[in-house]
C-alpha cells in the first residue's frame, strides 16, 4: 500500500516542472564544481580541447530547446484533446502521466534552463579556460541526453494519443490495480462482510469528492496508538460527503477523529491507483462512445469486451491474503460489482448490433469456463439480461445464434 510520503513523491515526480528544476540545479552545481575542479586540471587543458566553444554550444542548445519544448507541448495538448473527444475524458489522466512524454518534455525544458544558466555564468567572466572545460564536458553529456530524448519522442509520437494507445493505457492501469488487489484483497487488513459492529463509532469528514487513496499504514498506526479497531466504510472510488461515514472505530472514541480522516485522500475525481472498478468503468465508457450513433464503431466495443475478459480473468488467480494491518478491517471488492461496471452498459448500447451481442455472450462464456465457481452464476445472470435487451431488436437467425451460446453458459455447472 502506498504511504503518504510515497504518494507525495510519486505525484511530485509526475510534474514537468520538477525535473526541469533538477536540470537547473545541475547547471548551478556544474558551475560550482567547475570552479573547484578547474584549478586541479593541467594548465592549458581547456584551451587545447576546445572549451572555448562551450558558449556557442549552449547558445544553440538554448534557442533550439525553447522551440522544441513549445512545439512538443502543443502536440501534447492536441493529443489530450483528441483522446478526450475520441476515447473518453477520463483517459487523459493517464496520458498526462505518460512517463515517456513526461521525461522527454522535462528534458527539453530542463536542458533549456541548463543552457540559459550556463550562458549567464560564462558571461560573468568568472570562469577560467579549465573551468569552461568542465562546463563543456557536462554540456556534451546534456546534448547526448537531448538527442536520445528526441529519438524517443519521434518514435513515441507515432502512437501517442491514438485510440489503441489510449485503450492500452487504461487496460494497463486497470491491470495494475486488479493485480494489487489480488496481492492484498483487503488492502492488507482483515476481510469484513456486512455492517460494522453495533457499538462502533462512525468517523466522518468534511470534504465532498471521491476517495482516491486509503493509507492503511496510517490507519494501523492510529489504531495501535488508540488500542482500537478500525472498520472501513469507504473504499477507493467511493463518493463521500459531510456526514458520510468513511470508517467506524471500535473502542474508546478519541475527542479528535481528524487523524483517522486524514488517512483518506479525497479528490474531485477518481483515480486508477487503488480503484480497479474505475478502470473497468472507463473501458465501458469507451465502448459506449464507440457504440453511439455519432461514432458507430462496434469494433472498439468488441475489443473492449476482449480486454474485459483478460482483466477479470486475473481474479481467478490463486491468492494468499496478506495481513499487514491487523487492526484494520476492510470490505471486499466483489466480482459482481466489477462485472456490473463493464457488461450492462455495453449490453444496453449494443442491443441492436449482433456482432457486439455475440461477442458479449462469448465473453461471458469464456469467464464461466475459466473459473466456474467465481464467474458461473454471474455470467448466467448477465447472459440472461443481455438476451432480454437484444431479442426485440435482432433478426430471428441472429437470436438463434445468441441462444446457442447463452445455452452453453446456462448449462455450465
- 321-378: pLDDT as tens digits: 778 899 999 998 899 999 999 999 999 999 999 999 999 999 999 999 999 999 999 9
Reduce the DSSP state of residue 234 to 3 states and report it: coil
Reduce the DSSP state of residue 350 to 3 states and report it: coil
Looking at per-residue pLDDT, the higher value among 98 and 219 belongs to 219
* C-alpha dihedral (58, 63, 67, 72), degrees to nearest 10: 10
pLDDT band at 7 (very low <50, low <70, confident <90, very high): low
Taking 3-state DSSP, the helix, strand and coil percentages for the chain, each rounded to the nearest 5, stand at 65, 5, 25
Rounded-to-integer distance, Cα 228 and Cα 252, Å: 7
Reference 110, options 66, 144, 152; nearest CA is: 66
Averaged pLDDT for residues 387-400: 94
Rounded-to-integer distance, Cα 27 and Cα 24, Å: 5
In 218-305, beta strands by DSSP E: 229-232, 239-240, 247-250, 264-267
Nearby residues of 52 by Cβ (< 8 Å), 6 or more positions away: 46, 129, 132
Domain ranges of the chain: 4-161, 186-265, 273-320+333-411
Strand order through the sheet with 209-214: 239-240, 209-214, 264-267
- 14-59: pLDDT as tens digits: 676 777 777 777 777 877 776 677 666 666 555 555 556 777 888 8
The answer to whether residue 3 scores a pLDDT higher than 60 is: no
**Residue 267 forms beta bridges with which residues?**
210
Please state which CATH number belongs to domain 186-265.
Answer: 3.90.1170.30
**CB neighbours of residue 383 within 10 Å:** 25
The answer to whether residue 9 scores a pLDDT higher than 70 is: no
- 182-217: pLDDT as tens digits: 888 888 888 888 888 888 989 999 899 999 999 898
Q: At 10, which helix (H) or strand (E)? A: helix 4-13
CA 115 to chain centre: 33
**Beta strands at 209-214 and 239-240: parallel, antiparallel or unpaired:** antiparallel
Rounded-to-integer distance, Cα 375 and Cα 370, Å: 8
**Residue 265 forms beta bridges with which residues?**
213
**Residue 240 forms beta bridges with which residues?**
209
Reference 280, options 335, 348, 349; nearest CA is: 335
**CB neighbours of residue 408 within 10 Å:** 16
The answer to whether residue 413 scores a pLDDT higher than 80 is: no
Report which DSSP code applies to 45: H
Which residue reads 469494433 in cell numbers?
Answer: 299
Q: What is the DSSP string of 55-116?
A: HHHHHHHHHHHHHHHHHHHHHHHHHHHHHHHHT-GGGHHHHHT-HHHHHHHHHHHHHHHHHH
What pLDDT is attached to residue 11?
A: 66
Rounded-to-integer distance, Cα 225 and Cα 218, Å: 11
The answer to whether residue 307 scores a pLDDT higher than 70 is: yes
Rg (CA), the chain: 28
CA 211 to chain centre: 15
* C-alpha dihedral (228, 234, 235, 237), degrees to nearest 10: -160
CA distances from residue 107 to 29, 51, 98, 117, 300 in whole angstroms, order as listed: 17, 24, 14, 15, 35
Phi-psi sector, 192: left (phi>0), alpha (psi -120 to 50), beta:
beta
Residue 328, Cβ density class (10 Å: 0-12 exposed, 13-18 middle, ≥19 buried): buried
What pLDDT is attached to residue 406?
A: 94
Please calculate the CA angle 171-174-180 and round it to the nearest 5 degrees: 140
What pLDDT is attached to residue 113?
A: 83
The answer to whether residue 89 scores a pLDDT higher than 60 is: yes
What pLDDT is attached to residue 342?
A: 95
237 close to 278: Cβ distance less than 8 angstroms: yes
Reduce the DSSP state of residue 329 to 3 states and report it: strand
Rounded-to-integer distance, Cα 80 and Cα 104, Å: 16
187 close to 330: Cβ distance less than 8 angstroms: yes
Amino acid at each position: 500500500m502506498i504511504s503518504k510520503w510515497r504518494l507525495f513523491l510519486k505525484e511530485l515526480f509526475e510534474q514537468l516542472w520538477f525535473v526541469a528544476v533538477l536540470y537547473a540545479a545541475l547547471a548551478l552545481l556544474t558551475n560550482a564544481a567547475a570552479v573547484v575542479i578547474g584549478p586541479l586540471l593541467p594548465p592549458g587543458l581547456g584551451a587545447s580541447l576546445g572549451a572555448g566553444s562551450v558558449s556557442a554550444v549552449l547558445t544553440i542548445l538554448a534557442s533550439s530547446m525553447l522551440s522544441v519544448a513549445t512545439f512538443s507541448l502543443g502536440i501534447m495538448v492536441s493529443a489530450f484533446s483528441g483522446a478526450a473527444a475520441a476515447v473518453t475524458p477520463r483517459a487523459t489522466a493517464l496520458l498526462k502521466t505518460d512517463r515517456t512524454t513526461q521525461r522527454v518534455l522535462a528534458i527539453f525544458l530542463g536542458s533549456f534552463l541548463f543552457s540559459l544558466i550556463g550562458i549567464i555564468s560564462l558571461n560573468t567572466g568568472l570562469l577560467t579556460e579549465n573551468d569552461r572545460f568542465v562546463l563543456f564536458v557536462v554540456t556534451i553529456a546534456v546534448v547526448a541526453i537531448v538527442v536520445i530524448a528526441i529519438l524517443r519522442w519521434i518514435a513515441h509520437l507515432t502512437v501517442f494519443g491514438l485510440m489503441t494507445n489510449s485503450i492500452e493505457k487504461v487496460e494497463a492501469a486497470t491491470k495494475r490495480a486488479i493485480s494489487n488487489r489480488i496481492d492484498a484483497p483487503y488492502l492488507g487488513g482483515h476481510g469484513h462482510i456486512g455492517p460494522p459492529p453495533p457499538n462502533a463509532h462512525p468517523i466522518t469528514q468534511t470534504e465532498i469528492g471521491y476517495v482516491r487513496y486509503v493509507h492503511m499504514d496510517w490507519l494501523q498506526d492510529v489504531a495501535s496508538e488508540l488500542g482500537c479497531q478500525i472498520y472501513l466504510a469507504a473504499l477507493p472510488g467511493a463518493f463521500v460527503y459531510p456526514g458520510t461515514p468513511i470508517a467506524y472505530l471500535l473502542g474508546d472514541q478519541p475527542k479528535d477523529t481528524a487523524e483517522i480522516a486524514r488517512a483518506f485522500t479525497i479528490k474531485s475525481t477518481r483515480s486508477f491507483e487503488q480503484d480497479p472498478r474505475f478502470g473497468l468503468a472507463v473501458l465501458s465508457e469507451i465502448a459506449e462512445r464507440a457504440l453511439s450513433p455519432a461514432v458507430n464503431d462496434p469494433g472498439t466495443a468488441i475489443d473492449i469486451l476482449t480486454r474485459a475478459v483478460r482483466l477479470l480473468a486475473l481474479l481467478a488467480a490463486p491468492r494468499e491474503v496478506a495481513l499487514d494491518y491487523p487492526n484494520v478491517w476492510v470490505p471486499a471488492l466483489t466480482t459482481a460489482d466489477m462485472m456490473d461496471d463493464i457488461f450492462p452498459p455495453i449490453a444496453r448500447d449494443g442491443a441492436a448490433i449482433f456482432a457486439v451481442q455475440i461477442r458479449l455472450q462469448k465473453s461471458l462464456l469464456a469467464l464461466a469456463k475459466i473459473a466456474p465457481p467465481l464467474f458461473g452464476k454471474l455470467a448466467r445472470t448477465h447472459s440472461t439480461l443481455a438476451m432480454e435487451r437484444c431479442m426485440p431488436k435482432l433478426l430471428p437467425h441472429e437470436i438463434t445464434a445468441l441462444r446457442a451460446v447463452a445455452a452453453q453458459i446456462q448449462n455450465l455447472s
